[in-house]
Amino acid sequence: MKPARRRLAVLILLCGWAPLAWAQSITERLAPCYSCHGDQGQSFNPDTPSLGAQPSPYLLIQLYMFREKLRNVELMNAAVKGFTDDDLRAFADTLAKLPPPPAATGPADPARLDRGRTLVQQHRCNICHLPDLAGRDNVPRIAGQREDFLVKTMREYKANIRPGYDASMGDVMQPVTDADILDLAYFAARQP
Amino acid sequence: MAAAAGSSTLAPVAPPPLPTAADKLPLDKLKVAQGLKLEVYAAGVPNARTLRLGDKGTVFVSSRVQDKVHALVTKDGKREMKVVASGLHRPNGIALHKGTLYIAELSQISKIDNIEDNLDNPPKPTVILADLPKDEPHGWKYLTVGPDEKLYFQVGAPCNICLPSDRHGRIYRVGIDGKGLEVYAYGIRQIVGMDWHPTLKQLYFSENARDWLSEDIPEDKLNRVTQPGKDHFGYPYCHQGNFTDPELGWGRSCEEFTKPVALVGPHSAALGIKFYTGDGLGNEYRNVLFMARHGSWNRSVKIGGDVVTIRLNDDGTFKSMEPFITGFIQNNNYVGRPVDILPMPDGALLVSDDFNGAVYRVSRK
């Protein structure tokens, strides 16, 4: 299915399902999420993040921001409309238990990996996101995340388009060039 | 206790988006000075930040990472919470003056007249000052009204450490109508607490110093403006009044800049400050300055996470600093984080906690 058509299908699913939410298990309610974010939260969809093994507090913050329209992505704002606080907690906790996405495969350019590794140290990504980039608490997992999504997100932080929950990433991204963004994403996407 | 290698604790601590339920608040962990007690004034106030009091007794609470300003009304002994403004961007700064609520968002200041008469159906805020810088880092503001009935606020440095533009790193003042913007002080990094000395009528403010220099240097500061329009507090060239920046400080001297009143701990995140002129807490608290230290993130062993009392000499210089409420840090983790302080007409002190989304009340036993 083309992305636009898939999104329409997801919206119809979400809208149709909302009144029945009380009768559904969390597993059933998560099913529409997977049509964009991939089975078990392993995304194969351009610009759409993998959700598996993201820290629960980070997921809760994002879900909350979508519900309160503090972060505006139309499809996600619609997806969590009417969610209770407990719904948000249940979704965050369940998604956090899904397996982490596999690292990007295929032949990798060692020079780019080296540059990425150096940049991770230089900009202290490894301090907040931890040395294996698995994230913790309110800091997301970036290891194995989709490369295109990482590039998109870092560019949005740098351009002040995505303000974030607090302003930490806006600060971090200021000195990072676009060439460095590409290398950072290349490296992180290839970490197990 | 040092953090174990490989389990770095060095990351900004985000406040949970959902407030802590009243019965789960860490009251048993919080210790208050002798002869006083601490209780819950209100729970379920998302990301509770700046506290302000209206003439008719309404407590207004701002937020930083959410989009709302709330009002707390006491009715038949019970607290009711109302949303007075929403759809705002980082509405950290609020001030009350002659019945009007002023709101400082990231890049503009707005107002709602007669707010306490319109709590159930408040009109949308009217913008009085627009087009402030839109940078997210240190973009949230503190707002206060001076003895001259003008609004005072800061535009922080848009970074941890950088040479800011000539619009950033300054305290500004502007007329209550949003006209006549002027620079009040230079060389600040970020401020989240200001108050006016009750007799000297000088502006005191807390200032958060840079990160990633070392665990123990520089310290956050308590400053005061003695030369309006002239004082420069050192950023980004000189930190804590005596330490030139390793990159931007070459060729500069700390003697060029206004000295701090007091140093209040490295990374301690000194936020709300308030002079206490009442006597409800006992004579020993008259004219002390209360300061909420939100607590560190850029330090392996956390410090701050408390409310302290600062005593000043008659000339406004520093005399002493002592703990007042402690216990927000347990086993190097936060169970709460104090933000702002509000003395109430009955002499009690309210303290906001943005980590739990709560407001506490301290009073005599």
CATH number at residue B293: 2.120.10.30
How far off is chain B from A5, nearest CA to CA, in Å?
Answer: 31
User: What are the C-alpha distances in Å from A141 to residues A164, B16, B57, B59, B365?
Assistant: 15, 18, 46, 39, 48
Cβ neighbours of A64 in B, within 8 Å: 17-18
* Residue B152 bridge partners (DSSP): B144, B173
CB-facing half-sphere around the CA of B270: CA atoms within 13 A: 31
Above 80 in pLDDT, residue A6?
no
- CB of B13 within 8 Å of a chain A CB? The answer is yes
Q: Is there a contact between B14 and A57 if contact means CB atoms under 8 Å apart?
A: yes
Nearest-by-Cβ selection for A167 from B8, B66, B136: B136
Q: How many helices (H) and strands (E) does chain B have?
A: 0, 29
Strands (E), B248-288: 262-266, 270-275
- Let me know if residue B241 belongs to a domain: yes
ipTM at complex level: 0.93
CB proximity list for A104: less than 8 A, separation 6 or greater: A144, A147, A189, A190
Residue bearing the bigger pLDDT, A24 or B281: B281
* Sign of the C-alpha dihedral computed for residues B360, B13, A55 and B335 taken in this order: negative
- Reported as a single tens digit per residue, the pLDDT across A134-181 is 999 999 999 999 999 999 999 999 999 998 999 899 999 999 999 999
Token pair for B334: 């936060």
Look up the domain containing A70 and give its range.
Answer: 3-96
Tell me the pLDDT band of B6, cut-offs 50, 70 and 90.
very low
pLDDT of residue B8: 63
* Number of domains chain A is built from: 2
Contacts with B153 (C-beta within 8 Å, 6 or more apart), sequence order: B93, B104, B109, B141, B142, B143, B144, B171, B172, B174
pTM: 0.94
Distance in angstroms (rounded) separating the CA atoms of residues A191 and B102: 48
Mutation pick from B136, B141, B190, B355 vs chain A, by most beta carbons of A within 10 Å, is B136
Mutate to test the interface with B, among A171, A173, A174, A176 (most CBs of B within 10 A): A171
Residue A101 lies in a domain: no
CATH code where residue A20 lies: 1.10.760.10
Closest A-chain CA to B134? A160
How many domains, chain B? 1
Q: Of A65, A96, A127, which residue constitutes the final position of a domain?
A: A96
Is A152 found in the same domain as A175?
Answer: yes
Sequence-distant (6+) residues with CB within 8 A of B23 are: none
Compute the distance between CA of residue B341 and CA of residue A75 in angstroms, rounded to an integer: 40
Peptide bond into B218 cis (omega under 30): yes
* CB of A150 less than 8 A from some CB of B: no
**Quick check: A136 and B13 CB within 8 A?**
no
Q: Does residue B318 lie within any of the structural domains?
A: yes
Q: Based on the domain organization, do A168 and A129 belong to the same domain?
A: yes
Annotate A47-69 with DSSP letters as a single string: T----TT--HHHHHHHHHHHHHT
* B344 found inside a domain: yes
Closest-CA distance, A180 to chain B, in angstroms, reads 19
| Contact check, Cβ <8 Å, A60/B16 | yes
Within a domain: A80: yes
- B10–A128: do the CB atoms touch at under 8 Å? yes
pLDDT at B267 over 70: yes
Residues A183 and A128 in one domain: yes
| A46 has a chain B CB within 8 A of its CB | no
Task: Kindly state the percentage of chain A with pLDDT values over 70.
Answer: 88
Point out the domain boundary residue: A73, A96, A119.
A96
Residue B27 lies in a domain: no
d(CA B327, CA B335): 8
**Domain's final residue, options A96, A131, A160:** A96
